[in-house]
């Protein structure tokens, strides 16, 4: 695993300053821009194949179940369902070299397909050797070694952050630009949290696990941070999909404070991230009403109809701009009070709103509004 990660970082493109770095909210020596189409030359066939492997298992499972139910005798339908159930719980190797190679192919060609452009306001804030979770910038190994030579060996330095990614849209496809196997971000280990429902889907759980996706559960979240992984969370989740509106962006954040509390407990910085254009890569339709909302929350999934090119699952090739803001530094607080959580949560919401306003015009969406619910 260590060798593979080193290979990934070695193959990753070096962050060169963008010509656009001098204006429109992206300025500064730390600003970097990565264009998936420039970094990973691809073609339509590879892009379609990457999308088919990424989202295809959802359609395959549904198609197989419906076809078996409608065509096969009931006894054979039970057999098919049983086989799918086996794949739901079949042990798998998350560090499989073949699986990781497949996931790297998906990440790179997905970035190229739209393309996905990653804008990082301060790349230096994410240096892999930077100590996070300490009290001040002076809290470095050199500083402490001058005054606390005996204690320096007991200090643990980690490079871990919590990325709050918005919006969810129908599918948070743009998050692929932050994935560990894409290699744009300099942090060595990264995971994405997704609905636990995805991990009950045959074949889908294999692909998404290899991609670096983990179930969105508190215990998993905390253990990943403890293990040195930076974690990307989409706070809006299934509720945000239900609230989607045409012509505006929705971020369901006001009551979503769990990710903030965990970041405070671990002393990890919070990083606001917003993806422009993601809500446009699919057309969609969904029911409305209170019952539908309750049903979505119960199953932790949003049943709806969405389509792309020629009515298929292929998304439209529209650019997505993923903007990463500067980290909000946090002191470690194992037991934050409600008031302390509310204060940091407010800082994050304001930082996300400011990030949105700074970049919306320069990436081509000057009139769009962000509704934080």
**pLDDT (tens digit per residue) in 279-317:** 999 888 777 777 777 777 676 666 677 888 998 889 999
The string of pLDDT tens digits covering residues 193-223 is: 998 877 888 888 889 999 999 999 999 999 9
The CA distance from 230 to 162, in Å, is: 6
| Residue 118: how many other CB atoms lie within 10 Å | 26
E strand map for the chain:
32-35, 116-120, 162-166, 190-194, 213-215, 230-233, 249-251, 270-276, 283-285, 305-307, 320-324, 370-372
Q: Give phi and psi for 271, each to the nearest 5.
A: -120, 115
Q: What is the mean pLDDT of the chain?
A: 82
The CA distance from 372 to 330, in Å, is: 23
What is the pLDDT, as a whole number, of residue 217? 93
Say whether pLDDT at 362 is over 80. yes
pTM beyond 0.85: the answer is: no
Residue 21 near residue 33, CB atoms below 8 Å: yes
């Amino acid at each position: 695993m260590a060798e593979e990660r080193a290979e990934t970082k070695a193959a990753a493109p070096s962050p060169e300053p963008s010509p656009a770095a001098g204006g429109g909210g992206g300025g500064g020596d730390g600003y970097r821009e990565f264009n998936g189409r420039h970094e990973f030359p691809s073609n339509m066939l590879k892009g379609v194949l990457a999308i088919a492997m990424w989202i295809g298992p959802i359609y395959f499972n549904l198609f197989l179940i419906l076809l078996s139910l409608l065509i096969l005798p009931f006894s054979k339908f039970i057999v098919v369902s049983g086989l799918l159930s086996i794949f739901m719980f079949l042990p798998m190797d998350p560090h499989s070299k073949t699986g990781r190679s497949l996931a790297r192919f998906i990440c790179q060609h997905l970035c190229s397909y739209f393309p996905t452009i990653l804008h990082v306001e301060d790349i230096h804030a994410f240096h892999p050797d930077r100590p996070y979770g300490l009290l001040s910038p002076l809290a470095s190994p050199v500083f402490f070694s001058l005054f606390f030579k005996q204690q320096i060996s007991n200090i643990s330095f980690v490079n871990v952050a919590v990325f709050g990614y918005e919006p969810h849209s129908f599918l948070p496809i743009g998050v692929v630009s932050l994935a560990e196997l894409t290699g744009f971000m300099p942090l060595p280990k990264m995971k994405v949290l997704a609905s636990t429902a995805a991990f009950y889907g045959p074949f889908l759980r294999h692909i998404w696990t290899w991609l670096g996706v983990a179930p969105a559960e508190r215990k998993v979240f905390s253990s990943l941070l403890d293990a040195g992984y930076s974690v990307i969370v989409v706070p809006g989740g299934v509720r945000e999909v239900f609230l989607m509106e045409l012509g505006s962006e929705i971020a369901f954040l006001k009551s979503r404070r769990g990710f903030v509390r965990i970041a405070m407990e671990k002393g990890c910085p919070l990083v606001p991230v917003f993806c422009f254009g993601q809500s446009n890569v699919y057309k969609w339709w969904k029911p409305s009403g209170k019952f539908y909302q309750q049903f979505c929350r119960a199953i932790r999934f949003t049943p709806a109809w969405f389509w792309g090119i020629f009515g298929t699952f292929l998304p439209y090739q529209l650019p997505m701009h993923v903007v990463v803001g500067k980290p909000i530094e946090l002191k470690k607080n194992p037991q934050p009070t409600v008031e302390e959580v509310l204060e940091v949560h407010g800082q994050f919401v304001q930082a996300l709103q400011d990030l949105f306003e700074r970049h919306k015009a320069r990436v081509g969406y000057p009139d769009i509004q962000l509704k934080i619910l």
